[in-house]
Homo-oligomer: A and B are copies of this chain.
Amino acid sequence: MGGDNAPVEIVKGALDAAREDGIPVILVGDEKRLAAELGKHRFPESLVSIRHASEVVEMAESPSTVLRRKPDSSLVVSACLVKNREAQAMVSAGNTGAAMAVATLKFGRIKGIVRPAIASMMPTIHGKAVLLDAGANVDCSVENLLQFAMMGDQYAEHVLGVPNPRVGLLSIGEEPTKGDELTKATNAALQQVTDINFIGNVEGKELFRGEVDVVVCDGFAGNLVLKISEGVAELMVSMLKSGIKKNPATMLGGLLVKPAFQALKNKLDYAEYGGAPLLGLDGVCIISHGRSNARAIQNAIRAAAKAVEGDVVGCITKAAESVKLPVGETASSTRP
């Protein structure tokens, strides 16, 4: 029931995932409205069911009290399905903060993980990179960032199938001594971690050129990167369009290059990236964009299925036990 286009696009995307990908889905929300939506489509009935939930969490609601205030919301009921092993993953396009809070409280954190992180997929020239944290934790410690590195590494390897992922630390300069206090301390600590293929600091260049598979940063920087990227892409498209409209020759050219534009648009479209997994919890939760259309939801459900197949929870649980991360005073220090 969450997101700007619920339930129409959510149901459509879920049915596409069932039909095209063979993924069983449980639609959680107002029974009557969901049944009415289902009535409009043909779909494999054995793969689709409805679970009633009488309440909806609004986009502006305070995340911290949702569990208590709206125990029968589609969000809380979804989390309970995963908790009770009736579902293997949940996908939400609703209130991100609320989804995080509810998933964290219901699933619990994996033992040893201090903070869960949102892992967002970034387009690159060669494919994509995982950026985390994309906004779950605005203020982070070195310990948090080390765990993000470990979780991103596990996700890239076991879910995305990248062998020995290259893990970079987002900073403003490639040298280990460049960056703010948090970044410098994290770089020093990551160099000591032998189980992670740490390639050092990375900047925008390396990220978008596909020279790194996992980019680690605090949630403030990560979310900034997402929003600045969106802003720049919007600026460039808008300026190119107005440049193209200048005269008949460029307008004709514009028509001819439309396929290239469309390919670019697809590449940059959040809908292609299928939502961001919340890593570090004892259960799979995929956060989908509030503006998600059917395609975005289908991709989010695929991402959920992949996370389950790759056993991301099991892998992170094992890594949290076995990977040695430096601890002590430095590692637990926050921004000065």
Residues of A within 8 A of B (CB): 123-125, 135, 138-139, 170, 172, 179-183, 203-205, 207-209, 218-221, 223-225, 227-236, 238-240, 243-244, 246, 249-250, 252-261, 263-264, 267-268, 334-336
Contact = CB atoms under 8 A, between A and B. Distances in A.
A96 to B, nearest CB: 11
A227 to B, nearest CB: 4
B172 A223 contact: yes
A240 B264 contact: yes
A238 B172 contact: no
- Tell me which of A125, A180, A203, A221 has the highest count of chain B C-beta atoms within 10 A of its own C-beta: A180
A332 B231 CA distance: 32
A172 B220 contact: yes
A258 B182 CA distance: 44
Nearest to A335: B335
Copy tally for this chain in the complex stands at 2
A118 to B, nearest CB: 12
B263 A257 contact: no
B139 A336 contact: yes
B236 A264 contact: yes
B267 A259 contact: no
Contact of A239 (B125, B180, B220, B239): B125
Contacts of A231: 203-205, 207-209
Contact of A235 (B123, B180, B235, B336): B123
A224 B227 contact: no
A203 to B, nearest CB: 5
A236 B236 contact: yes
11 contacts: A125-B235, A183-B220, A207-B231, A208-B232, A208-B234, A221-B224, A224-B225, A228-B229, A240-B261, A244-B260, A257-B257
Contact of A204 (B219, B229, B267): B229
A232 B232 contact: yes
Nearest to A230: B204
A233 B232 contact: yes
A265 B235 CA distance: 12
